[in-house]
Structure 1
Amino acid sequence: MKFSDIPSHESAKQRLRDMIDNNRIPHALLLEGPAGIGKFALARAAAQYIHCENRIDGDSCGKCAACLQHQSFNHIDTHFVFPVVKRKNSSGAVVSDDYIGEWRDFLRDNPYMDFQQWLVSLDSPNAQPAIYVSESEQLVHKLSFTAHRARYKVVLLWLPERLNVDASNKLLKQIEEPFGDTLFIMVSNNAKAILPTIYSRTQRIELKRLPDDVIADSLITRYSIDETDAMALAHNAEGNMITAIHSISLSKESHRFLELFMELMRQSYQRHVKELKAWATDVASVANRSCVSWTIANGLYARISFTISTFRDSTI
Structure 2
Amino acid sequence: MQFSEILGQEYIKSHLTKSASSGRIPHAQLFVGPEGSGTLPMAIAYAQYILCNNSSTENEGGNESCNLKFDNISHPDLHFIYPTVTTDSVKTKPKSIDFLTEWRTFIQENPYGGLFDWYRTLGVQNKQGEIRVEDAESILKSLALKSYEGGYKVIIIWMADKMNIPSSNKLLKLLEEPTDKTLFILISENEEDIIQTIRSRCQVLHFNGLNENVIAQALV
Aligned match of 1:172 = 172
Q: CA offsets, 1:34-88, max 9 Å, x none?
A: 11111111101100000124x3423322771111101211001000111100233
- For residues 115-264 of structure 1, the aligned pairs below 5 Å read 115-219=115-219, 221=220
Gaps (5+ residues) in structure 1?
Answer: 222-316
Aligned match of 1:114 = 114
**AA matched with 2:134:** S
- For residues 47-62 of structure 1, the aligned pairs below 5 Å read 47-53=47-53, 55-61=54-60
Aligned match of 2:73 = 73
2:21–2:55: 8 Å Cα contact kept in structure 1?
Answer: no
**AA matched with 1:142:** S
- 1: distance between equivalents of 2:58 and 2:87? 39
**AA matched with 1:203:** Q
Q: CA offsets, 1:7-28, max 9 Å, x none?
A: 2111111110122111110000
Gaps (5+ residues) in structure 2?
Answer: none
1:49–1:59: 8 Å Cα contact kept in structure 2?
Answer: no
- 2: distance between equivalents of 1:198 and 1:68? 33
2:32–2:206: 8 Å Cα contact kept in structure 1?
Answer: yes
- Offset of residue 93 of structure 1: 2.5
- 2: distance between equivalents of 1:102 and 1:208? 28
**AA matched with 1:153:** K
- 2: distance between equivalents of 1:117 and 1:164? 21
Q: So what's the TM-score if we normalise by structure 2? A: 0.94
- Offset of residue 158 of structure 1: 0.3
Aligned match of 1:267 = none
**AA matched with 1:9:** Q
2:13–2:57: 8 Å Cα contact kept in structure 1?
Answer: no
Sequence identity of aligned pairs in percent? 37
Which protein, 1 or 2, shows the higher relative CO under an 8 Å CA cutoff with sep ≥ 6?
2
Give the match's secondary structure for 1:156. Answer: strand
Give the match's secondary structure for 1:71. Answer: coil
2:3–2:13: 8 Å Cα contact kept in structure 1?
Answer: yes
- Offset of residue 148 of structure 1: 1.2
1:52–1:61: 8 Å Cα contact kept in structure 2?
Answer: no
Q: Compared with structure 1, are the counterparts of its residues 91 and 13 closer, same or farther at alpha carbon in structure 2 (3 Å cutoff)?
A: same
**AA matched with 1:171:** L
Alignment RMSD (CA, Å) = 1.5
- Offset of residue 142 of structure 1: 1.0
- Offset of residue 89 of structure 1: 7.3
**AA matched with 2:57:** G
**AA matched with 1:38:** G
- 1: distance between equivalents of 2:163 and 2:58? 32
2:90–2:98: 8 Å Cα contact kept in structure 1?
Answer: no
- Offset of residue 114 of structure 1: 2.9
Give the match's secondary structure for 2:183. Answer: strand
Q: How many residues align?
A: 219
- Offset of residue 216 of structure 1: 1.5
Q: So what's the TM-score if we normalise by structure 1? A: 0.67
- Give 1 or 2: higher helix fraction: 1
